[in-house]
Amino acid sequence: LCSFLGLLYQEYRDKSTREEIETRRLQDSQTDPEETSPSEETPSEAEPTSTIENKAPPQINLLRNSNSRFNLWQDLPEVQSSGILSILQPDEIKLQEAMFELVTSEASYYKSLNLLVSHFMENERLKKILHQSEAHILFSNVLDVMAVSERFLLDLEQRVEENIVISDVCDIVYQHTVNHFSVYITYVSNQTYQERAYKQLLQDKPAFREVISQLELDPKCKGLSFSSFLILPFQRITRLKLLVQNILKKVEEKSDRESTALDAHKELETVVKACNEGVRKMSRTEQMISIQKKLEFKIKSVPIISHSRWLLKQGELQQMNGPKTSRTLRTKKLFREIYLFLFNDLLVICRQIPGDKYQVFDSAPRGLLRVEELEDQGQSLANVFILRLLENADDREASYMLKASSQSEMKRWMISLAPNRRTKFVSFTSRLVDCPQIQCVHPYVAQQPDELSLELADVLNILDKTDDGWIFGERLHDQERGWFPSSMGEEILNPKIRAQNLKECFRVHKSDDSQRRKLGSRNRQ
């Protein structure tokens, strides 16, 4: 076996996603996607094929051996010389590559973690600058994360060493996820404090800033920033789930290997969700306290802070004064500014008052909100919609005619206020044969709570779009929804590729739990 330790995980992951994007572009441009070759169909985290430098079978040791480089399982000398490639079915070769990719990418990830610890965390100058509590917030439990990765990698290596044809890796993923991967939840939940501490240290301690800059310039770091090393664990646990999904798409249906892959995927999904919740919980609590301080109630006070409440959207809209008949009047004086705070279970309607405060004059449970788009009434009434509170603060029905600053802002408010309202295109969960899709070609970091952060090569169903360049999408691999700029992606035009993406998605998320448990328990005995 080989080592991919020539690449740090950040580089490895970037190459992988870029290849995935190019593969889909190629497939999308073909009239018949069934004609694609095996290499085109398999997104790989590996680097391009390189010449094998050492013809003798290298020792299996992804942790230490960093000389030889292969990018595919079928390029290994043992595999090449065994004649196995002429015996195995093409689908089995694809599956071998998907399992091999999970192993080699873990080796690359372990290398990057090791660099974070040895090059940054254990640097003597840095240790002298940082107080013990600062170092703890900055590096959290990264030593535990690295130990877990090492143990996981050793088990994966042992499995690959048993036979040139890899029997399975998802059983190992399952065991490690259940027994060891909780360290990821601890690390990722600390992310909000970690980011804040890092910014604060850069600002307050010139010596810290200087040492970090010098360490980043070391050739070992290959031009990568310190912060790119800090976010590795969260990126890896998410990527691991996608690698298991890739295996799951290639195993035989209703087989033991499918059952094991489903079990591993389910456990990884639980860990990823717990990581996401950990990050959100930390930032949400602080945000709710901040909002509570800004609100003054003109009506009966509503307690804002609650463990089960968080902000979905906030912002200014123009409220139209007077009865609906005054729609015919084309004057901007009809509108006055109001400010909305929309939580997952509550809407609070305010007017901004001096001193960065907001006076609350109405509220309603989110479940009792209805929205209705106004037909285009000319320029002054463009982007206007009606918000109905079925039961407001006075226990009566109330209506507000609201004007947004743009079409996208209007649609974003309407979808946030009434999430069950039908979108322009139907969600994939309705199991429609076709739906517009887009693949992400530029990463995007959400700027608002109703936006969706995107990673390279994410594939999403388009649920709605606006004329001013925004898309409301649902990501296939985790069903997360949100808005993002349309310039971040490329639409997938080939209906066969869209259908294939949906089919794979249904397979990954199928909920035949009884069959899964039955096969899973048999497989682990």
- Give the domain CATH number at 85: 1.20.900.10
Each residue of 413-461: pLDDT tens digit?
999 998 876 666 655 455 555 689 999 999 999 999 999 999 999 999 9
pLDDT confidence of 369, banded at 50, 70, 90? Answer: very high
Neighbours of 161 (CB within 10 A): 13
Tell me the per-residue pLDDT of 224-277, one tens digit each, with 9 for 90 and over. 999 999 999 999 999 999 999 999 999 999 999 999 999 999 999 999 999 988
Distance CA 340, CA 317 (A): 8
Is 268 in the same domain as 127? yes
Q: Are residues 225 and 128 in the same domain?
A: yes
Domain boundary among the residues 289, 308, 338 is at 289
- 370 part of a folded domain: yes
- The CA-CA-CA angle for residues 174, 178, 180, to 5°, reads 110
- Residues 505 and 43: their CA atoms lie apart, in Å, by 16
Please tell me what DSSP assigns to residue 454: B
Q: Assess whether pLDDT exceeds 60 at residue 294.
A: yes
Sheet holding 311-320, edge to edge: 295-297, 357-365, 346-353, 335-343, 311-320, 398-403, 384-389, 369-373
Give the range of the structural domain holding residue 439, as residue numbers without chain letter. 428-519
The pLDDT of residue 41:
40
pLDDT of the residue at 389: 96
Tens digits of residue pLDDT in 450-505: 999 999 999 999 999 999 999 999 999 888 999 999 999 999 999 999 988 988 88
Query: What is the token pair recorded at 523?
Result: 């497989």
Which of 265, 289, 313 is the last residue in one of the domains? Answer: 289
**Whether 212 and 162 share a structural domain:** yes
Beta-carbon contacts of residue 353 (< 8 Å; ≥ 6 apart): 296, 359
223 and 359 both lie in a single domain:
no
Tell me whether residue 464 is in a domain: yes
* Amino acid 239: pLDDT: 94
Look at residue 7 in the predicted model and tell me its pLDDT: 82
Residues 276, 316 within the same domain: no
CB neighbours (10 Å) of residue 84?
A: 17
Same domain? 330 vs 211: no
* Separation between Cα atoms, residue 415 and residue 422, nearest integer Å: 9
Residue 352 lies in a domain: yes
Domain boundary (372, 390, 417) is at 417
For residue 309, what is the domain's CATH number? 2.30.29.30
37 found inside a domain: no
Are 78 and 59 contacting, i.e. CB atoms less than 8 angstroms apart?
Answer: no
Asked if 366 and 507 sit in the same domain, the reply is: no
Residues 260 and 339 in one domain: no
Give a yes or no: residue 34 inside a domain.
no
Q: Which structure tokens are listed for 67?
A: 């000389």
Q: Is residue 153 part of a domain?
A: yes
221 band by pLDDT with thresholds 50, 70 and 90: very high
In b/e form, how buried is each residue of 4-32, taking b as 16+ CB within 10 angstroms? bbebbbbbbbebbbebbbebbeebbeeee
Please check whether residue 465 lies inside any domain of the structure: yes
Residue 400 and residue 448 in one domain: no
Tally of domains within the chain: 3
If one compares 507 and 150, the residue with the highest pLDDT of the two is 150
442 lies in the same domain as 392: no
For the chain, what percent of residues have pLDDT higher than 90?
Answer: 65
Quickly tell me which residue has 């690295």 as its tokens.
146
Residues 474 and 500 in one domain: yes
What would you report as the CA-atom Rg of the chain, rounded to the nearest whole angstrom?
27
151-161 tens-digit pLDDT? 999 999 999 99
44 pLDDT higher than 50:
no
Tokens of 226: 């310190």
Q: How confident is the model at residue 89 (pLDDT cuts 50, 70, 90)?
A: very high
- Quote the pLDDT of residue 281: 84
Over 80: is that where the pLDDT of 40 sits? no
Residue 371 counted as domain residue: yes
Same domain, 403 and 447: no
Q: Please give the pLDDT value at position 323.
A: 52
- Summarize pLDDT for 508-519 with one digit per residue, the tens: 876 444 343 443
- Token representation of residue 453: 């952060």
